[in-house]
Amino acid sequence: MLVDSFGRVATDLRVSLTDRCNLRCAYCMPPEGLDWLPKPDLLTGEEIVRLVTIGVERLGVREVRFTGGEPLLRRELVEIVAATAGLSPRPQVSVTTNGIGLARLAEPLARAGLDRVNVSLDTLDREVFVRLAHRDRLRDVLDGLAAATAAGLTPVKVNAVLMRGVNEHEAVPLLRFCLDRGYELRFIEQMPLDAQHGWRREEMITADEILGLLKDSFDLTEDDPRERGSAPAELFLVDGGPHRVGVIGSVTRPFCGACDRVRITADGQVRNCLFATEESDLRTALRSGVPDEELAARWIAAVRGKKAGHGIDDAAFLQPARPMSAIGG
Ligand code: SAM
């Protein structure tokens, strides 16, 4: 198993399929984009499936989430999902996406064995979307969401990041929109993971503020905390339920003590924490022809060194060199 020195067991694997994205969300990357990873550095589809197989069959991974960058940009996505869903024991398979292209891909992905999607949606206003993401693609995202429901990729979860002076006024409309369509909305606190290093703690919208904005319009009651397990979101019943809204207070309400996640970047590095400053290279080992046992041993060692917490509140906190898009959110 993937156990760290504090006894936490990593069973939830996030695999980044590419660092490229077709949006330029301000909290993630600059409008001009980034220097993308060179193609030869990216794991091939076969290499990804080999690592996922080792994770599931040897190391106790029970949930696999494909992310990026934008995972729907990866041509082999349907095949990678099918191979993952075919593993034994079968893991839960999900994708985190901005939704662009989902209108076309939801059905084939569902047929390949995808269980669920998380779709990022920060605004319902086309102008705000263009200002925030620097692309005019709101319609594509909304179509993608509808297609996900139609394909049975449920519960469809929606991730929203609020930025002060940009979309904070949309907390209530976003929740109404999601309630009306049966999507489960989660607000994520903005984290210091942007490529521009523009994050300022005093500017971020905190979980307390988000809840304050929502409580003006909805009656929120805390859902049974035992239901939360290792999930990052604190869940609240909306107007008595059954619908819920989540708040992921990564910065102000860290949940590192219950973290069960481990990540593999698109270029084959194991990261034991979103905020880790060190990575363990599996790609070089993989390409040098080592057997699965050796790869598993390296992966186990990488997780063992996980720190107790992300340390954002420490005076010595250093933002990781890789931005969110290159880590895999
Ligand atoms: N492209 C896909 C998407 O848009 O969902 C997957 C990758 S994206 C990095 C995954 C999630 O991370 C998205 O919900 C996005 O909003 C969130 N995210 C990116 N940068 C963030 C930041 N600095 N703070 C909080 N969330 C962030």
Residue 122 is given by DSSP the state -
Per-residue pLDDT band for 58 (boundaries 50, 70, 90) equals very high
Which residue CA neighbors atom 25 of ligand 1 most closely? Answer: 190
Q: Is 194 in the pocket of ligand 1 (CB under 6 A)?
A: yes
CA of 147 to the centre of ligand 1 (A): 21
Return the closest-CA partner of residue 263 out of 303, 292, 323. Answer: 303
CA of 258 to the centre of ligand 1 (A): 21
Separation of CA 46 from chain center: 22
Query: Higher confidence at residue 228 or residue 204?
Result: 204
CA of 190 to the centre of ligand 1 (A): 9
pLDDT, average across residues 272-297? 96
Atom of ligand 1 nearest to the CA of 122: 16
Q: Is 67 in the pocket of ligand 1 (CB under 6 A)?
A: yes
Mean pLDDT across the chain: 95
Q: What is the pLDDT of residue 329?
A: 81
Q: What is the pLDDT of residue 252?
A: 93
Judge whether residue 219 has pLDDT over 90: yes
Atom of ligand 1 nearest to the CA of 193: 23
CA of 294 to the centre of ligand 1 (A): 32
Per-residue pLDDT band for 321 (boundaries 50, 70, 90) equals confident
CA of 25 to the centre of ligand 1 (A): 8
CA of 324 to the centre of ligand 1 (A): 7
Q: Is 27 in the pocket of ligand 1 (CB under 6 A)?
A: yes
Q: What is the pLDDT of residue 214?
A: 97
Q: Is 94 in the pocket of ligand 1 (CB under 6 A)?
A: no
Q: Is 269 in the pocket of ligand 1 (CB under 6 A)?
A: no
Per-residue pLDDT band for 225 (boundaries 50, 70, 90) equals confident
Rounded alpha-carbon distances, angstroms, from residue 90 to 48, 86, 115, 265, 290: 16, 6, 11, 22, 25
Q: Is 274 in the pocket of ligand 1 (CB under 6 A)?
A: no
Rounded alpha-carbon distances, angstroms, from residue 89 to 32, 127, 154, 291: 42, 45, 21, 21
Per-residue pLDDT band for 39 (boundaries 50, 70, 90) equals very high
Per-residue pLDDT band for 117 (boundaries 50, 70, 90) equals very high
Q: Is 324 in the pocket of ligand 1 (CB under 6 A)?
A: yes
Rounded alpha-carbon distances, angstroms, from residue 8 to 248, 252, 298: 20, 21, 17
Judge whether residue 93 has pLDDT over 90: yes
Q: What is the pLDDT of residue 126?
A: 98
CA of 103 to the centre of ligand 1 (A): 20
Q: Is 167 in the pocket of ligand 1 (CB under 6 A)?
A: no
pLDDT, average across residues 256-260? 94
Judge whether residue 29 has pLDDT over 90: yes
Residues 27, 246: Cα–Cα separation, whole Å: 20
Judge whether residue 230 has pLDDT over 80: no
Q: For the whole model, what pTM was predicted?
A: 0.97
Which residue CA neighbors atom 1 of ligand 1 most closely? Answer: 70
Q: What is the pLDDT of residues 149-201, one digit of tens each?
A: 999 999 999 999 999 999 999 999 999 999 999 999 999 999 999 999 999 98
Q: What is the pLDDT of residue 175?
A: 98
The identity of residue 18, as a single letter, is T
Judge whether residue 318 has pLDDT over 90: no
DSSP 221-267: EE--GGGTTT-S-EEEEETTSS-EEEEE-TTTS--GGG--EEEE-TT
